[in-house]
Structure 1
Amino acid sequence: YSSVKNENIPYTDNRMYMAGRSRFYSEKPYVIKNCIDQRKDIFVAKVKGYFPKSEYNNLLALPPIIRNIEIQNKEEVIGECMYSQAQKHSLPMTKKDRKLTTLLDTNDQFMVFNNYYLWLLIDLGFIITDYKAITVFEKNTAYEPFVRTMMNLRIQSILAGSTKEKFYKLIINSSYGYDTLNTEKFGKIKMLDKAGTFIAQHHPNHIGTKRISANTFAVQLKPKTANCFTSIQSGVFTLDNAKYWYLNYIYNFMYKCLDRKRFHFVLADTDSIYISISGDPTKDCHQQFEAIVKDRYLDLVLKMKVMNLRHQVQSAIQ
């Protein structure tokens, strides 16, 4: 999200900008719709919507709306199969659970999306049914020089076979977003004796206990308040930009170059994916995607290599 030009970003001049200061806020539906349709500004919008059934065949394998939502454990909500399995294993079915899930609609709720994620959903067929609010931000490019410098240092380290490349990668990742968003809230740790530990373990804010010595325990409690120095727009843009790249890779690369009949999504998270592949039976588990690449894509890659070679020959002759 460094504002570095990338052809895989078809919006905002092929750049993914960081969010700067807030320019304006509006709850007027026509203003929100206009900002979304123009595809010029960067923003965070709160909308309702859905994917039509005509798009289900393309989307059901991995629905593109990724959300951590509260779900009621009812058969009509989680499905007959999941409900019967939960009952079979005597799991509690009366309470609501928060689950990271993938959806084909906004579950009749207003949900927040940043501009890049929302535009990708719209390009995949997402239909907005209601507009709640929008905040438009200035485009910030101050991060680009830093990223270019660190990436050049990392490339030089890789070419030199130096382990410093991991150090430069960590600097880039931790400087904006990444796990810094998760480490700004720390648990409160107390050193207690057996009696104090017994009392603390019955406290609703108790997280965990570790024995230090015969009568000393490190008890971790969830603090009532916490300081966070990351701006809200940085957090929202970091999460939604990550979802954009994740889905862009799947829908605009994997689906186009791989035979979809020969691979299946087993498990998906916001930073990883597990896929089962019907590959070449004569090869072992290290074959990766070789056997399921489409012939059309292979022909395209070969054509690009030939064109590149021809260009190099012509340049050498000149």
Structure 2
Amino acid sequence: MIVTPFTATSTAVEVVDGIDLTGRRAVVTGGASGIGVETARALAGAGAEVTLAVRNLSAGGKTADDIIATTGNKQVSVGFLELADPASVAAFVAAWDGPLHLLVNNAGVMAAPFSRTPAGWELQFATNHLGHFALATGLHAALAAGASDTGRGSRVVSVSSAAHLRSPVVFDDIHFERRSYEPWSAYGQSKTANVLFAVELTRRWQGDGVTANALHPGGIRTNLQRHIAEADLDALRRAAGVTSFAWKSPEQGAATSVFVATSPLLEGVGGRYFEDVDEAGLNKPGERTGVAAYALDPESASRLWAVSEETLQR
């Protein structure tokens, strides 16, 4: 179990303090909003070359300019990426040149109204898992090259959520073709998929020097919650038995992502789940912290990988 001196109030800049990322290249999906901005800023501030993979190129450009101005690092660029569109993911992968050392799968949608992609996939699963799965597998060779050229390993950061406790991956009906759609269940299974992805990626790619870990960033009021009213969030917290709650700032919310991406403590370590800048233990019944055993199950992780490959090949 990895234990750190950091806390729930630590910021991304504090977590990366003293770490030199000069010569390392990073991609941050959703890097133009919320914790993606502060994740990218912390990585750039430590010397990394950072690409913001975003849907809105105008917002991405403004964010890149801001990060350059605040860090002094001019190696910040923007690339278009629509995770729910396989063609867009394929184009991003095709345009990538050279090694990659850090892939932060940060972008996502939360509790969205029911929607399907043109391929017929449920939107949250398609965006939060399948898009990032296609991106990472498409960049596998670049990640392996990054591990080889530094000897320090490459890392994939899988931003999950405590909402994974709401649902395992329902393999019999992932895309809500037979069961009634419920936004939080759909979100929950997509976040469980993020953890299972880290487990199986590490098993498959550790020999190439590539590992992945998953994390819960904490509660941060950002555009991610655009589909949810504050009163609805309060009701959900009461129903879950949460009697006190404090939002994290984006800088605090990015801390666990940055820790997973950069900490020397995680060199060669993968397939784990972190929250509040510490490795989480197993969830206990009735609590909203820790990781569900089903999210770390190696058989489910292997099955999800196979299902994801098959889905994307159709």
* TM-score normalised by structure 1 residue count: 0.24
Higher helix residue share: 2
Higher strand residue share: 1
Name the structure, 1 or 2, with higher relative contact order (CA <8 Å, separation 6+): 2
Q: Of the two, which has the highest radius of gyration?
A: 1
